Amino acid sequence: MKVRIPEDVYRVLLTAKSDLNDVFIRKFCCTAELSGPPLSSAGAPLKVYEKRLNGGQVISVWRDDLTRQNTDVVVNAANEHLDHIGGLAYALVQAGGPQIVQESRDEISRRGQLTAGSIAVTSAGMLPSRVVVHAVGPVWMPAVADNCKAQLKEAVQNVLQYVSNHSDLHSVAIPAISSGIFGFPLDLCANIIVTTVRESCSNDHKGLLKEIRLVNNDDKTVQAMRAACEQILGSSDTPSRAMASSGSAQNGPSPQEASSRITSSINGLNIHLKTGKIEDEKTDVIVNSISSDLDLSSGAISRAISKKAGDQMQAEMNKKKNQGFRNMIFTRGYKLPCRYVYHVILSWQVEKTLQEATKECLMTALKYRSSSIAFPALGTGNIGLPRHKVADIMTQAVLDFSRAKECKMDVYFVIHPTDKDTFKAFQDKLRASGVSSPKNMEITENQRGLESSAEEMCVSIAGQSSEDEMEAAEWLQGLLSSSPLLIHNNHLLLFGSAEFDTLASGPSSVNIEEDLVDGKVTLKISGPRPEKLLAAVQAERLLLDIQDEFAVSLEEGLLEAAVSWFYEGESESHRYTAKANRELERAYVSGTVTLRTTPGHVIDIMNRTAQENERTFAIHRRCLCDSLRTVQKSATSENWLSQTKTVDPNSQEFKHQRSEFRKAGLILDKMEEVQNKWLSGVFQSKKEEVELRQKKPSTEQLYQLVPRQFCKKICDVGFHRLYATSKDPKHRAGVHFKKHLPNITQRFHVPEKDGPFCILQAEVVIGAATKYNRNQPVLPCAGPDPLQLYDTLIDGALPPEHYVIFDRFQAKPQYVFTCRHIG
């Protein structure tokens, strides 16, 4: 499915496409591929005008990406806070690196908020220029047009004066300041800039400023600049022609790298062997090897990755030290050119864990729809594994994965340029495996090449189902609207000061408000479309992080109620923490051999032993529910808790449900049966407990409407109020259900659009029930015993229609229905 996007959105998404794809993968189980011309146009930079003035200065107009310009000075169209969140400013700091961001913050700390017309100066970081001058242009307001014109002129004058006053600076590249989201009329903006340039050159008696380039990346602005130059300065001295800029970005490997590169393809997966530095790889994922204490300063590869990534990576790693982990943990890439770093630990049964870790990295990359992953030669450093052994293990793991999983992915083995022996070991292994025969092995000089040059600017969405794709497309189209964006998500209740500070640090042109009405939390984002889009993507990523953390806590609670792992001490047994218990059960189901619940506590699950401080303990698994005595051990890492089975549309069961949904004004598209042994076991225990107390059967088949993105989480961990869409302001802490489908719209937010939505059918333990009463506690006492509470609240209808429970284990999801409105 394709969604066409306007040019201003396309340019913003080019700077944030990995973040956007991250949202699509985690929120909609879809990938988002951006198609259109590269940011710097389809080919080399284009100079469309050039004029030499009487003073010797050369004025030129370029269509190019400003981040590629190799002038001494590049000008950023900045706002008064120098926060560089969107547009050109964001592109410059992405290319230039964090040094520009930090120096900008220091400048604001020293001077305070800047005013329109002023400038600030920072270094250029990794940009080809030497200096970045941040020029604050005015926000166009017709009522004070003369003031806006004066401020724009002042900004350009200050830029040119700064360059002229420094003997080591001779050239500058200037964009169309204020013509974008600040709304300055383009033709007027071009005329003011060109007029100011001419006047400044006439008054430049030092003769230091030699070249002024007017650089923009869209045809409309480039044409406006050229027209202004032709009107004010006269016709161009030379015809416009395409010119290769010496500061242009390099695509693909260097010639030295290209001479040592092999590519093979199996079952849609491309295997690349190349020389290079792993920390410089621009793949979605790079892999690192770390010690069991999670110290990134140990090992040459780890140090190189950590140094380039910055301190944030070690800080994230420190947070994971007290959590359970297996052979691999992942962090974000931070200042690295990749999105994620997968860190593997090889200090226990090294050869075995190297094979498992390689496969786990590939499976995780596949799960999160990563298109590329880069491995160094793991284990050849401090651990000292023989090169040929590492090549055998890692190559075989990739080959096994490629034959078992049909997927489109680029897998890179990246060997340091000085390590020729290791490169040869991998090369020999690939050739010996038979995949690198003369027919399918090639030496390539530019395997990755340039981005697509398709003219149509769009986002291509690919998902596991058409329903997922449709929901993702609707969300994206909502971002393109000029109206404020509304994010409805009860996980906003879990936002803390850190999340709100992150949102508040965005551009001042974006306004973000939180609203709580009828138990429903809404985040309202308004402002110029490009900045609003970036703020929305950032908010969604924060929500996804919160949702993942919250889901893990619910998983821990479920598994602690279902299964207990413990180890035998000298005199007593010790139960593992909820975090470790979850990781142990997950490892047990997936067949993982070893697990580390803390850096010093290593578990051999196969042999049911644990080692800590050179002592060995026996470990045991105690099932708290009869149904969990045996658990199938073939679940994938993504579906290890729950699985769904699609019901045949031709079956009598489906036909019956379709008829019931039609009576409710709904079209049933899909019906899936939910299977979750852990949740079923805990639910059965709760059911038996209540029925023993009530002396009679006490369950109902009820319905709840939930957002599609939370269906999988409910199947995994059960119902929760944060996953629901109830608009009933009473009893917000409870989980609401309806008895009949025709009434599903009364207290649930049903989508008004034509797209699909989900209704879950659940078996719910009712137990002792009482009617709503505003003057009573949420769950009043069921008798004289203050510890004996009612199980359920019901409405006043006869029979009851609306039910509210407060123990999530009272409900077990049975079916997921995907449906639409009739008509």
- Whole-angstrom Cα distance, residue 702 to residue 709? 20
Chain segment 98-133, per-residue pLDDT in tens: 788 888 988 898 988 899 999 999 998 878 888 999
Residue 785 has pLDDT above 90, yes or no: no
Residue with tokens 């189980």: 29
Summarize the confidence of residues 541-563 as an average pLDDT.
91
Both tokens assigned to 307: 């140094």
With beta carbons less than 8 A apart as the criterion, state whether 550 and 491 touch: yes
- Whole-angstrom Cα distance, residue 287 to residue 342? 5
Residue of higher predicted confidence among 539 and 779: 539
What pLDDT sits at residue 403?
A: 78
Non-local CB neighbours of 749 within 8 Å, separated by 6+ positions: 488, 520, 705, 725, 727
pLDDT band at 177 (very low <50, low <70, confident <90, very high): very high
What pLDDT sits at residue 452?
A: 35
| Percent of the chain's residues with pLDDT above 90 | 25
- Which of 6-20, 71-85, 232-246, 249-263 is the least confident region? 249-263
pLDDT band at 221 (very low <50, low <70, confident <90, very high): confident
Residue type, 435: V
Same fold, 46-242 and 643-821: no
Sheet arrangement for strand 372-375: 261-266, 269-275, 409-415, 372-375, 285-290, 340-345, 328-332
Identify the helix (H) or strand (E) that includes residue 375. Answer: strand 372-375
With beta carbons less than 8 A apart as the criterion, state whether 337 and 280 touch: yes
Both tokens assigned to 289: 């090897």
In 576-725, DSSP assigns E strands to 594-598, 601-604, 609-612, 615-623, 643-646, 666-675, 699-706
Identify the helix (H) or strand (E) that includes residue 689. Answer: helix 677-694
What pLDDT sits at residue 638?
A: 66
Non-local CB neighbours of 767 within 8 Å, separated by 6+ positions: 690, 693, 694, 698, 790, 791, 792, 810
Q: What share of the chain is helix, strand, coil (3-state, %, to 5)?
A: 35, 25, 40
CA distances from 397 to 16, 351, 401 (A): 32, 12, 6
With beta carbons less than 8 A apart as the criterion, state whether 451 and 38 touch: yes
**Whole-number mean pLDDT of the chain?**
81
DSSP code, position 166: -
Sheet arrangement for strand 2-4: 2-4, 458-463, 30-35
CATH topology of domain 255-433: Leucine Aminopeptidase, subunit E; domain 1 (3.40.220)
Both tokens assigned to 713: 């989480």
Chain segment 690-720, per-residue pLDDT in tens: 988 888 878 999 999 888 888 999 999 999 9
Chain segment 639-664, per-residue pLDDT in tens: 788 889 999 999 999 999 999 999 88
Q: How many CB atoms lie within 10 A of CB 625?
A: 18
Both tokens assigned to 384: 């000292």
Residue of higher predicted confidence among 543 and 463: 543
What pLDDT sits at residue 7?
A: 77
Residue with tokens 């146009």: 41
What pLDDT sits at residue 764?
A: 95
Both tokens assigned to 284: 């979605």
Angle, alpha carbons 624-628-631 (nearest 5°): 145
With beta carbons less than 8 A apart as the criterion, state whether 84 and 92 touch: yes
Residue 248 has pLDDT above 60, yes or no: no
Beta strands at 73-78 and 131-136: parallel, antiparallel or unpaired: parallel
Three-class SS of 13-44: HHHCHHHHHHHHHHHHCEEEEEECCCCCCCCC
Three-class SS of 533-593: HHHHHHHHHHHHHHHHHHHHHHHHHHHHHHEEEEEECCCCEEECCHHHHHHHHHHHHHCCC
With beta carbons less than 8 A apart as the criterion, state whether 483 and 289 touch: no
Summarize the confidence of residues 290-295 as an average pLDDT.
82
Highest mean pLDDT pick, 448-462, 616-630, 703-717: 703-717
- Whole-angstrom Cα distance, residue 166 to residue 812? 73
Task: Tell which CATH architecture fits domain 482-640.
Answer: 2-Layer Sandwich (3.30)
CA distances from 334 to 12, 91, 308, 506, 677 (A): 19, 16, 9, 18, 39
Non-local CB neighbours of 715 within 8 Å, separated by 6+ positions: 641, 642, 644, 674, 676, 813, 816
Q: How many CB atoms lie within 10 A of CB 585?
A: 26
Please state whether the peptide bond connecting residue 813 to the residue before it is cis, i.e. omega within 30 degrees of 0: no
Summarize the confidence of residues 402-422 as an average pLDDT.
83
Non-local CB neighbours of 315 within 8 Å, separated by 6+ positions: none
Angle, alpha carbons 160-166-170 (nearest 5°): 65
Q: Could you report how far apart the first and last alpha carbons of the chain are, in Å?
A: 22
Chain segment 330-388, per-residue pLDDT in tens: 888 888 888 889 998 876 677 888 888 898 899 888 877 777 899 999 988 777 788 88
- Which of 66-70, 140-144, 242-246, 386-390 is the least confident region? 242-246
Residue 246 has pLDDT above 50, yes or no: no
- Whole-angstrom Cα distance, residue 216 to residue 193? 13
- Whole-angstrom Cα distance, residue 407 to residue 464? 13
Beta strands at 285-290 and 340-345: parallel, antiparallel or unpaired: parallel
Highest mean pLDDT pick, 174-178, 580-584, 726-730: 174-178
- Which of 87-101, 299-313, 601-615 is the least confident region? 87-101
Q: Which CATH code of 3.90.228.10, 3.60.20.10, 3.40.50.11930, 3.40.50.620 fits the domain covering 643-821?
A: 3.90.228.10
- Whole-angstrom Cα distance, residue 685 to residue 680? 9
Specify the CATH number of the domain 46-242. Answer: 3.40.220.10
pLDDT band at 748 (very low <50, low <70, confident <90, very high): low
What pLDDT sits at residue 446?
A: 34
Q: How many CB atoms lie within 10 A of CB 697?
A: 10
Domain residue ranges of the chain, discontinuous segments joined by +: 46-242, 255-433, 482-640, 643-821
- Whole-angstrom Cα distance, residue 450 to residue 190? 31
Which 3 state secondary structure label does DSSP give 126?
Answer: coil
Residue of higher predicted confidence among 532 and 653: 653
